[in-house]
Chain A
Amino acid sequence: MRRLLLVLAALLMALPAATAAQRPEVVIGYFGLRKDPRWQAWETYANLVLREEMDPADGARVAMRDARIVGRVLKVKFRLEVRRERDLEQLKAAFEELHAAGLRYALVDLPADQLVAFTRPYRAREVLFFNVSALEDRLRGEQCQANVLHVIPSYRMLADALSQYLTHKGWQKILLLQGPEPEDAEIARVFQQSAARFGNRIVEVRRFLPTNDPRAREQNNVRLLTTGVDYDVVFVADSRGDFGRKIPYQTVLARPVVSLGPHGPTIGLQASAWHWASERFGSPQLNQRFERQVKQRRRMRDADFAAWAAVRQLIEAMMKARSTEFAAVRNTLLAPEARLDVYKGMPANFRPWDRQMRQPIVLHTHNAVITYAPLPQFLHQSNVLDTLGVDQPNSRCRF
């Protein structure tokens, strides 16, 4: 039945002279995996919920509501087609089917390796992919692809936001505590590059292990992990966050704790793409809209924000181009003068050299926004937002 509807939709799209009553349909795809562990509820020992279940497609759904009016102006109908499949093969089949029916814009909600495997075969296709949930810098570097746009900020952008704040505060001697996960190593590596860029110093890197094993006490006792060295601040690279959330207030020296990474609970001062407690730049409106429209009444998180922003970018580009035709939309979307309001103050657009969406970063605690980066003290010759993330001269992306 679904297939039949798709064929019908494709037929409709193929009819250029459709009347107002049967406006042609513009489909926006959303591709992800079923039971993606990143979005499952995370209960730790004793049923403590550290993170509730979520589906970032909710962000896209909220943005689709706005598409109704733009559809009225452009005389088209927008539809979001969310496909969550068991594996990449099924996902590719779903994509092929929709692409054949006219799909040209697709949000991709996959971990980094799967994202590469999914998008690489389509690098020459007439399609634009929007990465809404993979933060790895290599996707914007050596693994970049001209038709993959990154709406979620990279780890490096988050790290640079935090580094700016530490530099500004004069908290420049940093003790880095790193967890055992591969993602923790990625975060630690990126943060060290960022520290170097802003003149901060990592005084020592220490590994922690989430275990109670007394033989590993050097690695699981926060007092031992934070003693014998002088530092202004502790940076925690803990993508899971279960251990990290207990580090503040346990350090030997009375020092603040900072972190980054969107998947775990908030540890001390954290850099994120989005936060529910943001009070400025119209963000309360978006947060309220999201919380009202999503059935669980949950709060908006980074990937929700990215999915929302991806759809907004697209709809806005069609509005500006006054067209839904691929080439026109693509050119408008990637134009250097594009300015999308993403409710974080400065307007967002895409970097031409790696297709990363420029955007401010939120620095927040578990319940308050402390500030937004870039901080006003950090200047740049062309766009202050490029003080966050890998800048053009250092980019390893070649399309």
Chain B
Amino acid sequence: MANRWTAVALALTALLLPGPGRAGAQGLVYVSNEKSDTISVLDPAQDHRLVATIEACGRPRDMEWDPTKRFLYVACADDNEIGIIDVEKGEQVDAIPYIEEPEAFEFDHAFKRLFVSNEEDAALSVVDLESREVIAWVETGEEPEGVLVTPGDRQIWVTSEASNLVHVIDGETYEVLADIPVGTRPRRFAMTPDGREVWVSAELAGRVDIISTETLEVIDSIAFLPRGFRPEQVTPVDLLITRDGKRAYVALGRANHVAVVDVEKRQVIKYILAGNRVWGLTLTKDEKILYAANGLSDDVSIIDTETLTNIKSVPVGQIPYKVLIRE
């Protein structure tokens, strides 16, 4: 409760202060918009009102925080860079240049290295965050996409959308340890908290494949089919698993629903209606609210994870891609 009041107080302060503060208060929600080249800033304390719009680099997609959560790193495919936005100033202040068509990326746990998939080169680049040099380059299948860094930075996992493979790369030597065949058009990862399973969404197979981190093989799959949809409309992309490892949320793309999955039973509990072509998912720290970015209806669905209902949709910029929260 105290937290909420602080958030409200901060938001109110943000409202009263002109300029920078409005885009950078604690508790705000940031949404990258691929087509309008902006980051929409929503304030949950004000019923998710749009409180600011930050100009970003060209075609912003994936976003990650720096450890202080003051700087937002944004992969900009059309400008071939990772933009760095100071959310307190509400503007892009810096960029890591010469990264060809970045789509998804992750940092290592020490915030020393950046792992980014490059569509153009069919490679995973490892960038030293201090020198900003590419220190390693690993050949992948065509259209590498989702990146996962395992605990202790031991391994980097990357999907190859066009080759239907998951590549497992050694976190130190950058040697390819395995190429795992998975369902058609693999996109994103989620790891169970015990580290035993990696879930990967296969967009055109309409399912999630479950890979054992021990055998590096697909051990099971979960198919999705909300009522009234044809299998080919079910195109899962983003997914995440809760901290207790009990529940997973999977955004089903053109099936316009978010699937709620019982992780242990590997069964769908519910399909929650979201917007058109739902992709990017983010949970609040308390995991009570799930945000879902709807790429083709230009809005974000706000889902109550207790009642499993969509409580509100908020319009943002064009083709929203990813949601992050400053908390």
Contact = CB atoms under 8 A, between A and B. Distances in A.
B163 interface: yes
Contact of B119 (A285, A347, A384): A285
B122 A66 contact: yes
Interface in B142-198: 142-143, 160-165, 176, 179, 181, 184-185
A73 B165 contact: yes
Interface residues of A, number: 23
Contacts of A73: 165, 179, 181
B232 interface: yes
Contacts of A322: 181
- A-side interface mostly: helix
Contacts, number: 57
A341 B163 contact: no
Interface range, B side: 20 to 34
Contacts of B165: 69-70, 73, 319
A393 B19 CA distance: 68
Given A66-B142, A69-B141, A72-B179, A319 B164 contact: yes
A86 interface: no
B140 interface: yes
B164 to A, nearest CB: 7
B205 interface: yes
A316 B184 CA distance: 10
A71 to B, nearest CB: 10
A316 B163 CA distance: 8
Contacts of B160: 69
Interface string A275-303: 00000001001001100100000000000
Give the one of A292, A341, A346 with max B CB within 10 A.
Answer: A341
B120 interface: yes
B143 A282 contact: yes
A66 B143 CA distance: 9
Given A319-B164, A320-B181, A345 B142 contact: no
A66 B181 contact: no
Nearest to B179: A73
B145 to A, nearest CB: 10
A65 B163 contact: no
B281 to A, nearest CB: 20
A68 interface: yes
B184 A289 contact: no
| 9 nearest A-B pairs in the assembled complex, by CB-CB distance | A69-B141, A66-B142, A73-B179, A346-B232, A341-B204, A341-B185, A69-B163, A341-B184, A339-B184
